[in-house]
Chain A
Amino acid sequence: MSAAVEVQGVSRRFGARVVLDDLSLTVEPEEFVALMGPSGCGKSTLLRLLARLDRPDEGRVVVPGRHAIAFQEPRLLPWEKVWRNVGFGLTGPGVRERALAALREVGLEHVADAWPKTLSGGEAQRAALARALALDPELLLLDEPFAAVDALTRLRLHALVRDLRTRHLPAILLVTHDVDEAIALADRIDVIGGGRIREQFAVQLSDAERRDGPARAELRDRLLHALGAELDAPARSFREPVSTKGP
Chain B
Amino acid sequence: MAHLSSDQALPAPIAVGGPQATPRRRTRPCLAPAVTRYLLVPAALVGAWQAACSLGVVDPAVIASPIEVAQAGVRLAKEGVLWTDLSVSARRAALGFALGLVVGVVTGVTAGLWQRAESVIDSPIQILNTIPFLALVPLFILWFGIGEKPKVILIATGAAIPIYLNLVSAIRNVDVRLIEMAQTLGVSRRRLVGRVLLPGALPGTLVGLRMALAFSVIGLVAAEQINADAGIGYMMEAARQFLRTDEIFLGLALYALFGLAASAFVTLLERLLLAWQPRFAGR
Show the binding face of A for B, using Cβ within 8 Å. 51-53, 68-69, 71, 73, 75, 77-81, 88-89, 110-120, 123, 131, 135
Contacts and interface: CB of A to CB of B under 8 A. Distances in A.
Q: Is the interface of A mostly helix, strand, loop or mixed?
A: loop
B11 A113 contact: yes
B186 A75 contact: no
8 contacts: A68-B184, A88-B182, A88-B185, A110-B18, A115-B276, A118-B4, A120-B3, A135-B185
A114 B181 CA distance: 20
A123 B4 CA distance: 13
Contacts of B11: 81, 113-115
Contact of B180 (A53, A89, A116, A123): A53
Contact of B178 (A77, A81, A110): A77
A73 B184 contact: no
Given A77-B178, A115-B9, A117-B277, A69 B195 contact: no
Given A73-B177, A115-B10, A119-B2, 11 more contacts: A52-B183, A88-B187, A89-B187, A110-B16, A111-B14, A112-B14, A115-B275, A117-B278, A120-B1, A123-B1, A135-B185
B2 A88 contact: no
A114 B10 contact: yes
Nearest to B182: A88
Interface residues of B, number: 34
B14 A68 contact: no
Contacts of A53: 180, 183-184
B169 interface: no
A118 B24 contact: yes
B44 to A, nearest CB: 38
Interface string B188-211: 000100011001101000000000
Contacts of A114: 2, 10-11, 14, 24
B185 A68 contact: yes
Question: Of B11, B185, B275, which is in contact with the most chain A CB atoms at under 10 Å from its CB?
Answer: B185
B189 to A, nearest CB: 14
A75 B200 CA distance: 13
A88 B192 CA distance: 10
A53 B185 CA distance: 11
B185 A79 contact: no
A85 to B, nearest CB: 10
Contacts of A131: 185
Given A73-B177, A75-B178, A120-B3, A89 B24 contact: no
A101 to B, nearest CB: 17
A183 B20 CA distance: 34
